[in-house]
Amino acid sequence: MLPVARFYTKEMRQVARKSVLRISPHIKREICKSCASPLVPGVSCSTRVKGHKKGRRVITTCLYCGCQRRLMADPQHELFVDKEIHGTLH
């Protein structure tokens, strides 16, 4: 099942690149950057929370390739795509 998942995630990236589209950050956080496997906690990745001087971080480690990803664990942190735009520029 994993080779099929990797194939489709690589295809998704190629289609987005060729059609000059951005993949949602929510989707990108669920895919390993180096081996393109889907990150499922407890199955294909391990997740831990670590305190840091700049704030708490969630560290996700891919169990297939060992690639680590560090994300903010601050409840007030909001992704750019989730923020409401109060004004529009024309």
If you search the block for the tokens 């989730």, which residue do you land on? 82
pLDDT of residue 44: 93
In the sheet with 68-72, reading across from the earlier edge strand, the strands are 45-50, 57-62, 68-72
> Distance between CA atoms of 67 and 60, rounded to whole angstroms?
8
Instruction: Convert the pLDDT of each residue in 46-71 to its tens digit.
Output: 999 998 777 889 999 999 999 999 98
User: What is the overall mean pLDDT for the chain?
Assistant: 86
Task: Give me the amino acid identity at 31.
Answer: I
If you search the block for the tokens 């680590």, which residue do you land on? 68
pTM of structure: 0.76
Q: How many other CB atoms are there within 10 angstroms of residue 46's CB atom?
A: 14
Confidence band of 35 (pLDDT split at 50, 70, 90): very high
Instruction: Convert the pLDDT of each residue in 5-28 to its tens digit.
Output: 999 999 999 999 999 999 988 899
